[in-house]
Structure 1
Amino acid sequence: MADPYTTLGIPRSATDKDIKSAYRKLAKELHPDRNKDNPNATERFSAATQAYDLLSDKDQRARFDRGEIDAEGNPTSPFGGGGFGGGSRFRDGGFGTRPGGPGGQGGFRPEDMGGFAQEGVDLGDIFEGLFGGRTGMGAGGGPAGMGTRRPPPPPSKGADIQYRLRVPFVDAATRADQRITLSDGKTIDLKLPAGVEDGTQMRLKGKGQAGAGGGGDGLVTISVEPHAFFRREGDNVRLELPITLDEAVNGAKVKVPTVDGAVMLTVSPGSSSGKVLRLKGKGFSTKAGSRGDQLVTLEIDLPGDKADELADLAKRLDGWRDTRNPRNSLGV
C-alpha cells in the first residue's frame, strides 16, 4: 500500500482537520455509488479510506511516523531488519545463538532465551520496551493488538437537495399548507412553521439524494411573495384604508380586508387621515405560536378625479371654513 499521506495528498505536517477535509473530498469524488463503472475509483476509495483510518488515529499515526508500523497498520521489524533470524543484535545467550533458537530451524524454545529464561523474565517484559506497552503474545506471533485498526467509517449519506418554495403572502401569514414537488417527481404537503418569514429554511429528512448510508435531506428555503396592499412589519400586517370625507366626519362601520378574510371596522366620528386602528390577532404567527396584529391606517379619499363630484362637495362646503391651523405642531 502507498504512503497514506501520498494517498490523501497531504503533507506529513497536516492537522487532523486537514486529514478529514482531504478524505471527505476524495470520498465524495471516488465513492462507489458515483463510479459504478470505474473499478479504479473503487480501489482508490478503499485506499483513501484505509489511509484516513490510520492517520485519523493519533496513536496509529504516531507509530507510523516512527516507522513502527507500515501503511496497512502491520508492525514492521522491531530489530532493524534482522528480525528473529538475524542473530546480530543479541549474543552471549540472547536471540539467535543456537540452531534450535528463534534464529534456527527448531522454532522458539524457552531455553533459547539463555539468561533471560533462567531468570524467569516474561516475553511481555521484552515487548513492553519495544512496543510501548505490555500486551502479551498475539495469534500472529507478535504482541497481541499489533496491526489492529479501527473499522472503516460508515457509508456516506447522499447529498442534500436545495429547493426554493414561493409562498403567497396570505398563506404565509395564516400558515396554510403548501404543496411542493420533489426531484423524484413526488409531491408532499408542507406545514409552515410558526414564525415563518422570507428566507426561513425547512429540512425534509431523507428527501435528498440516495446514498449507501441513507438518503440526504431536502432543504426548502421559503420565499414570501409581496401583496398588492398588505405589507409586513415584524409580526404585524400593515394596511392603508381609504375612507370618504363623510365617513371621517360622521363616523361609520366599514368593511376591511384581512389575511383571514374581510371584517367590519368602526371608524369614529372626526377621524383624521393617518389615524391607526388595530385589529388584534390578524397578523403573522410568532415563533411562540401567537399572532401579530393588523394595523389599519385611515386615509381620507377626496373625489379629486371627478370634477362634478368635487364641485358638489365644494358647493356643500360653501361658506364653511375650518379656522384651525393643523400644521401648528410643525412650527408653521
Structure 2
Amino acid sequence: MRSVGVEEELLLVDSESGEAQALSHAVLARAARDSNGEDDAFESELHRQQLEFATSPHKDMEKLAAEIVQWREQAARHAETLGAAIAALATSPLPVSPTVGTGDRYQWLEEQFGLTTQEQLTCGCHVHVYVESDDEGVAVLDRIRPWLSVLLALSANSPFWQGKDSGYSSYRSRVWGRWPSAGPVDIFGSPVAYHEQIDAMVATGALRDDGMIYFDARLSAAHPTVEVRVADVCLEPSMTVLLAMLVRGLVETAARQWRAGEPPAAVPVTLLRLAGWRAGRSGLDDQLVSPLLMRPVPALTAVESLFEHVRPALEDAGDYDEARSLLSRVLREGNGARIQREILARTGSLRDVVTECVRRTARGV
C-alpha cells in the first residue's frame, strides 16, 4: 500500500465582501502562536492572499480525509480572528490586485517574470504518492502522462477571473501555463535522462533552481514521491480525497505496467498540451480528449476510461467503493466550476459565490 500526502493552496477572503485579502503573514503568525511554534503544516505562498498546508503521508484514506478537514478548519479559525475566511477556490471570482510575498525568492520571481508573477494568484492541489526509487518514479511519470488531463477536468474549480466568466472551467491551468517550465513533458526513459533535463533547464538561467520545475507531474525534490501537480484546489474535502485515490491508483497501475515490461504510450507533448487545454476549457461539461485514442469523446467517457484503468489498483487498496461513490457524486452534481456557475446563475452575485464556497470549504455538503 502506497502512502499519499496532499498539499492544498487556499484563498484568503474578507468575510463580508468576499474579496481576496493579503493576510497570509498575519494568519501564519496566529497559527504559530496558537501552536507554540510546533505546528508547521501551514506555509506562505507566492501571494499574500494565499495560504498553503501539507498533510502527513497516509495509507488510510479516512485518515487523510480527516487531516484535510482538520487543517482547513484550523485555517478557517485562524483567519476568522482577523475578520477573514478561507475558500478552496483556484482563482478569485471577484476582482483582485495580488500582492507578491516579501521573501527573496518571491521578489526574484517578480523581477524576472514581471506580469506573469503578479497575475499568478492561483490555488492548486498537489498529490504526493510514495515510490520506491527514482527508477520506479520516472517509469511512473512516463506512463501517467496521458491521464493527467482527466484529473484536471475532474478538479476544475476556477471559472472566474477578475470578476468575469473566463469561458474556462479551469482558468488557473491557463494562467499557470504561462510559466516556461510548466506543463506536460516528454518520456524520459531513465532517472539519468530526467535529472539531466532538469539540470539543463536550470543551466539556461531562466529558472532560479530546480524548485521551479513546474511539470504537471515530477519527482519530489524533498520526498520519495511522485508529485502530481496538475489539479485545481478542490472545493470540497471529499473531492480532494477522490483525487488522491485516483492519483494513487494511477501511480500503482503505472508501476505495475513498468514491472511487467509494458512500454509507455508514445503520445507527443503537442497532443498532451491540447488535451490539457481541452480539459481546462471543458471541465466535465463538454468533450475531452481521450487518453487512449487522442480523439474527442464525451467527458463521461474519458472519466470512466480513467476509472477503469485504475480499477484493479483501487480494489487492491480497498478504495474502490468509496471512489466509485465519490465519482458518481461529482459526475451528478458537478465539479467546483459547475457549482460556482450554478450559484452565480441562481443568485446573480459573485460575492454569494464566494460566501457559499467558504461554507463548503471546511466540510463540504
TM-score tier by shorter-chain length is under 0.3
With structure 1 as the length reference, what TM-score do the two structures score?
Answer: 0.18
> Computing the radius of gyration over CA atoms, which structure comes out larger, 1 or 2?
1
Using structure 2 for the length normalisation, give the TM-score.
Answer: 0.17
